[in-house]
Chain A
Amino acid sequence: MLILQGIPVSPGVAVAEAVVIDNEGFRIPRRFVSRDAVDDELSRLQSATDAVAADIASNRDAISKQLGEQYGAIFSAHLQMLRDPKLHAELEELIRDRHYCPEYAVSRTMRGYAKAFQELDDPYLAERAHDIFDLEKRLLRNLLGRRREELSHITTPVIVLAHNLTPSETANLDPQYVMGFGTEIGGAGGHTSIVAKGLEIPAVVGIGNFLTDVSGGDLIVVDGDSGRVIMQPDEETLAYYKHEAEEHRTFAERLETLRDLPAETTDGSRVYITANIEFPHEVNACMRRGADGIGLYRTEFLYLGADHEPSEEEHHDAYSKVVQEMDGRPVVIRTLDLGADKMGHLPLAEEEKNPFLGLRSIRLSLRNLPLFRVQLRAILRASAIGDVRIMFPLITTLHELRQAKMVLNDAMEDLEDEGVEFNRDIPTGMMVESPAAVVMIDKFLKEVDFISIGTNDLVQYSLAVDRSNNHVADLYQNGDPAVLRLLDTTIRSAKQANIPTSMCGQMSAGIDYTMLLLGLGLRRFSVPPSAVPEIKKICRSVAISQCEDITRRAMAMDSAREVDTFLREQLRQLVPDIMLHY
C-alpha cells in the first residue's frame, strides 16, 4: 500500500482500477493474452523492438554525421538498453508466464527501471530515468500503433491518473465511468478542478511525481476530501473507504431533507444560494438540491468541447434549455471567460509569457467583437423566456465595462430592428475579480445592476500567486487578511449603493467561510450544485449576530493560518454535525 498526498479539489471518495494516461494522452491497456497467443504477442514485441532499434540507429547515424561521433553515443546507449538481455528476459516472463499483453509488460517493466534510476543518489544518473521513459514511449507508440485508446472510449469504471488533465480533457470525462482522477500537477483553483467539481468526480491534483509507481489496472482509492490517493490499498483501508463512501451517501440524504426549506438564518435573514454550472445538464443537479437559481452559468464549454466556433443557435439552445428548466428562477449567464488556462480552438494570442495577465476573458471578447456579438445576441434572445441576467468577467477598468455595455446595446438595437423578442431591461452585472475593480468599486456600482465577486481570480491577483503553480500554490489563501479587507470593502460599498452582491468562486463554497461571509454582509452565494445543501445547512444553523461577531474577530487577525484555524473551530462549535472535509 502506498499513500500519496495531493490537493483535494473535488470531494467524494472513489475506488476503482487505474487508467494511466501518459503525456501524449494515450492509455496503456491492461490486457491479458491467451496461452495460444503468447508466441504471436512475443513476436509482436520483437518487431516493435526491431522497428524502434532501426529508428534509433538511424537517429544515431544522422546525429553522428552532423555533429560527430560523441553526440551519437547517447543513441548507442539507448540501443543497448533496448536490446538489454535482462529487460527482454523480464518482458518475456511477464508475457509468457503472467500472460500480460506486451504494452502492459513494457510499461510495467520500464517504469520499474525508471523508478530504480530515480532512486539513485547521483542526480545525473537519476535523471537518466527520462531515457527509460523515452524508450517506453517509443515502444508503446509502436506497439499501440493506431490502436491508441482514447479517454472517451472508456467503458468500465476507472480512476484516471495523469500528469495533467486540461480543462477540456476533464470536461470530456464521462462521469458514468470515470469514478475519480488524480494528477501530478495542478493547484486548488485551476479550472480543471472547477470542471471536476461540476461533474462531481472526486479528484486530487498536485500529487507530485507518482506515475512511475502505478500501472493501468492497479486498484486505486481517490479521496477527494483529504487529498489522498492510495495505491494497492490493503483490506482494512478498502473497508474504511467503502464505509466512508456510505457515510457520504447518508449525509447527502440527510441534507436532502433541507431541499425545500429556505436558506434562512436562525434570526430570520434570508440567504440566497444559487449554483454554478458549466453544462446544461447540471440544471438537474441544481433542482435536485434546491438551488435558488443559477448564479454563474459558465459558457466556455461551448468553445472547449466543439471543434468549430459555436453558432448563435448553439449558444441559444444551451441557454434556453437552462432558462426553461430553471422555471422562473434567475439565471446569470457569464460571457466568454476563455484564455489563460482555458483555451478553445479560437485564434487566440500567440504564446503568452504570463497568460493570467494576458489576453483573456472580457479582453478577448472585446478584441473579437463578431464572436462576442454572437454570444450576446443568444443571451438576449434567451432573456425573452425567463429571468436571464448577463455578467461580464474580469472587468478591470470602467472603460472595459462601458465598452462591453456598448456592444450589448448594439446587439439590442439589432435585435429590435429585426423584431426579435428580448428583455430590454436585462439586468447587467460584472464580476469583481481584480484588485483594481475593488479599489474603484464605488464608480463601478453606479453602472451595474449587480456584482459577483470571483474569489479565485481576486485571491490570485491580490496575493500575486498563480494558483496552478504547485511551487507556490500553498501561498494561495482565501483566508488572507488582505483578501478579507478587499471583500469587506466590496460588500460594504455595494450595500451602501443598494446593489445586490453575490459571490462565486471557491471561497463561497468553502464551509469554513460561510459564517465569515454572512458576517461581512453577503446574502447571495453561488456554489457548485453539490455544495448547495451544506451551505444552506450552515445558514439555517447560525444567527447573523453570531456571524458578525466572528467576522469582527477574524478581521483583526494577522495571517490566513490564524483566520482559517479560528473559522474552523467556530464552525465545529456552532454547527457540530456538519461533515468536516478534513
Chain B
Amino acid sequence: MTEKTVSKVVTINNEQGLHLRPAELIARMANQFESNVELIKDSERVDGKSIINIVTLGATKGTQLRIEASGADAEQAIAALAELFDNEFLDTETAEQT
C-alpha cells in the first residue's frame, strides 16, 4: 500500500464559516476514508475527522484552508472534501446518502 500525501487549498465561501453543521459534514466525510485528514489554517493544524477540532479552528467566511490527506485513498478523500467546500456545504442530502 502506498502512503501518499495529497493536499489542496480551499476557500470558505458560506456565510457562517465552519460552524457546527459544515464541521459535521467535513468530519463525517473524512471519517469515511482510511487516510489521515488534516485541516490547516495558518500555523494551526487540526484533525479533519474531529468535529470539535474543526470548530475550534474558528474559521470564518473567506478563510483559506489547506486540506491534507495521507494514506491509500488520499486522492479520493481530498476530492470529496473539496467538493463539500465548493458546494458551500449545501448538498447535505447527497452527502447523507453516500
Contacts and interface: CB of A to CB of B under 8 A. Distances in A.
Given A69-B92, A85-B50, A86-B47, A80 B24 contact: yes
Contacts of B55: 117, 120, 125, 128
Interface stretch (B2-10, B15-23, B68-76, B79-87): B15-23
B93 interface: yes
A184 to B, nearest CB: 23
Contacts of B51: 77, 80-81, 84
B60 interface: yes
A84 B27 contact: yes
Interface in B23-51: 23-24, 27-28, 31, 47, 49-51
A116 interface: yes
A26 interface: no
Interface residues of B, number: 22
A76 B28 CA distance: 10
Given A76-B24, A77-B23, A125-B58, A87 B52 contact: yes
A121 interface: yes
A69 B93 contact: yes
Interface in A114-130: 116-117, 120-122, 124-125, 128
B19 A128 contact: yes
A84 B23 contact: no
B16 A121 contact: no
Interface string A54-93: 0000000000000001100110110011001111000000
Contacts, number: 63
A70 B91 CA distance: 12
A548 B23 CA distance: 69
B20 A86 contact: no
Given A69-B93, A77-B21, A80-B27, A122 B52 contact: no
A86 B53 contact: yes
Give the most central of A87, A117, A122, A125: most B CB within 10 Å. A125
A120 B47 contact: no
Nearest to B61: A122
Contacts of A120: 55-56, 58
Contacts of A81: 51-52
A84 B19 CA distance: 16
Contacts of A73: 21, 24, 92
B21 A84 contact: no
A113 B28 CA distance: 19
Nearest to A120: B58
Contacts of A124: 16, 19
B40 to A, nearest CB: 16
A87 B19 contact: no
Contact of B20 (A77, A87, A121): A77
Main SS class of interface, A = helix
B20 A74 contact: yes
Interface centre among B28, B31, B47, B55 (most CB of A within 10 A): B55
A113 to B, nearest CB: 5
Give the residue among B19, B47, B52 with the most A Cβ atoms within 10 A: B52
A87 B52 CA distance: 8
A137 B50 CA distance: 20
A131 interface: yes
Contacts of B92: 69-70, 73
Given A77-B21, A128-B19, A131-B20, A84 B58 contact: no
A122 B21 contact: no
B68 to A, nearest CB: 16
A8 to B, nearest CB: 35
Contacts of A131: 20
A122 B24 CA distance: 18
Interface in A177-236: none
User: Which of A81, A117, A124: most chain B CB closer than 10 A?
Assistant: A81
Contacts of A125: 17, 19, 55, 58
A113 B58 contact: no
A131 B19 CA distance: 12
Nearest to A116: B56
A113 B52 CA distance: 7
A542 B49 CA distance: 72
Given A85-B49, A125-B17, A80 B28 contact: yes
A87 B28 CA distance: 15
B36 to A, nearest CB: 11
B93 A86 contact: no
Interface of B: 16-17, 19-21, 23-24, 27-28, 31, 47, 49-53, 55-56, 58, 60, 92-93
Q: Which 6 residue pairs are nearest across A and B when measured between Cβ atoms?
A: A86-B50, A120-B58, A77-B24, A77-B20, A80-B51, A80-B24
Given A117-B56, A132-B52, 16 more contacts: A69-B92, A70-B92, A73-B24, A76-B24, A76-B28, A77-B20, A77-B23, A77-B24, A84-B52, A84-B53, A85-B49, A85-B50, A116-B56, A122-B58, A125-B19, A128-B19
7 contacts: A73-B24, A74-B21, A84-B50, A85-B49, A113-B56, A125-B19, A128-B55
